[in-house]
Amino acid sequence: MTRFHRYRRPFLFAAGWVLTAIGVVGMILPLMPGTVFLIMAAWCFSRSSPRFEAWLLGHPRLGPQVRRWRESGTIARPVKLVACASMVLSFGILTRTSAPPIALWTTGACLLAAGLYVASRPEA
């Protein structure tokens, strides 16, 4: 067994909790996405702790979006609008800073790709 495999479950378990915390913060803060972090947390828990995966999926506030994503890969229209608007606003804020052009281009390309992915998902 390689060294990585020995630490894989504890690493994924810790990552699951960190991602859950970020997801909860994202559910509270309007400009930060939360669901994507909860989806990643569920993936980490699915490989490290089925008990906490079940807890996350069964949670009344955190679980519905993750379950909907797993079942159908859909994103509700209001969520799409908020996500895309947040990306546009974030890029707008970045353009007002002294970020170097390479950072603007890279960030813009990543946000555009993410926005196109979100917009192309089926609606719930």
Name the nearest CA neighbour of 39 among 10, 27, 97, 103.
27
Quick one: how far is CA 81 from the chain centroid? 16
Name the nearest CA neighbour of 68 among 117, 13, 18, 124.
124
* CB neighbourhood size of 41 (10 A): 26
Kindly state the DSSP code that residue 95 receives in the 8-state scheme. H
Phi–psi pair at 65, nearest 5 degrees: -65, -40
18-66 per-position pLDDT tens digit:
999 998 988 887 667 788 889 999 999 999 999 999 999 999 999 998 9
* CB neighbourhood size of 79 (10 A): 18
> Which tokens sit at 88?
């546009």
Of all residues in the chain, the percent with pLDDT exceeding 70 is 95
Mean pLDDT of the chain: 88
